[in-house]
Structure 1
Amino acid sequence: MNDKNIDATRPARPIPRQGVYVDTRPFWDGISQGRLVLQYCTAAGRFQHYPKPVSAYSGRRTLEWREVSGKGAIYAATVVRIAGPGVEGRIPLCVATVELDEGVRIIANVLNCAPADLAVGKRVRLAIDHLAPDHPYPAFELE
């Protein structure tokens, strides 16, 4: 867990709400335990993210939550250089689309990464960031 990224003098970052159409508690419970848990379609044999009420692959409700490795490679990346709400003091902010080893992509911050080190193909692993002291959020860091 990376509590050093929390600064009580900065405005709070927006906190995600539980899903309206999908119960996302397994995702958030996993993150609070330092694990990445995603929906898995048993009919198609594939993970999906973001959570949906039905499989993106089969259109069925054959979904269950499964833990993934939290490891992958950067598929695309950008550096945020202009502060938006709640990211003051975090600029430049490295952000990447990560293709997990399980074949699903997720967008997240890359922590402790200099912009010059952010590159497509680099390996990353799950890290936990905090939007507030009691709100862990998935992020990644370079391996």
Structure 2
Amino acid sequence: MSDAIPPKPRPEPSDDTRPYWEGVAAHRLLLQRCADCGRVRHYPRPLCDACHSFAVEWIEASGRASVHSWTVAHHPFHPAFKAELPYTLVTADLPEGVRMLARLRGMGPEALRVGLPLRIGFEDNGEGLTLPVFRPAD
């Protein structure tokens, strides 16, 4: 049995998610909005859950968020993340009306509370992938 750590899983952009990932790579959080009824949605998907339209447009998020909930991971969901344990995942409410999940940076979980203001940041992982993260609001 090998002790080699497998590579981290990577997102595979589809036609529906490509604008999101291109935005994140440019350090911009883009959200889908239904071009028919105006409902904002996140995560990206092909169909509006409000009116069932396939028409979509992309808007840039404000960059603000507030804590909805969080969890501290002590067990890796994939072996490649074992060296990063423990880490904190935050579910945050965005003023655009959606929730988003991302890792917490710049503070420990003991400082979190529901409603705490956050800002969206971006981290380049050095392997050609950029991911959104949450940081304390300035």
Q: Tell me if TM exceeds 0.5.
A: yes
Q: Give the conservation status (yes or no) of the 8 Å contact 2:90–2:104.
A: yes
Aligned equivalents of 1:36, 1:74: Cα separation in 2:
17
* Greater strand fraction, Structure 1 or Structure 2: 1
Aligned equivalents of 2:60, 2:86: Cα separation in 1:
31
Q: Tell me the matched-pair count.
A: 133
Task: In structure 1, give the amino acid aligned to 2:86.
Answer: P
Partner of 2:50: 57
* TM-score normalised to structure 1 length: 0.83
Note the alpha carbon deviations across 1:47-74, whole angstroms, 9 max, x for none: 1011111111110122111111121101
Partner of 2:94: 100
Gapped runs of 5+ residues in structure 1? 1-9
Flag the structure with more relative contact order, 1 or 2, with Cα contacts below 8 A and sequence separation at least 6: 1
Partner of 1:15: 10
Partner of 2:66: 73
Partner of 1:111: 105
Task: In structure 1, give the amino acid aligned to 2:130.
Answer: P
Q: Give the conservation status (yes or no) of the 8 Å contact 1:27–1:36.
A: yes
Kindly tell me: are residues 90 and 119 of structure 1, through their superposed partners in 2, closer, same or farther at Cα, counting changes over 3 Å?
A: farther
State which structure, 1 or 2, has the greater radius of gyration over its C-alpha atoms. Answer: 2
What is the SS of the residue equivalent to 1:120? coil
Q: Give the conservation status (yes or no) of the 8 Å contact 2:69–2:114.
A: yes
Task: In structure 2, give the amino acid aligned to 1:16.
Answer: P
Q: 1:33 aligns with which of 20, 26, 50?
A: 26
Aligned equivalents of 1:88, 1:132: Cα separation in 2:
18
Kindly tell me: are residues 141 and 12 of structure 1, through their superposed partners in 2, closer, same or farther at Cα, counting changes over 3 Å?
A: farther
Q: Give the conservation status (yes or no) of the 8 Å contact 1:13–1:86.
A: yes
**Amino-acid identity (%):** 33
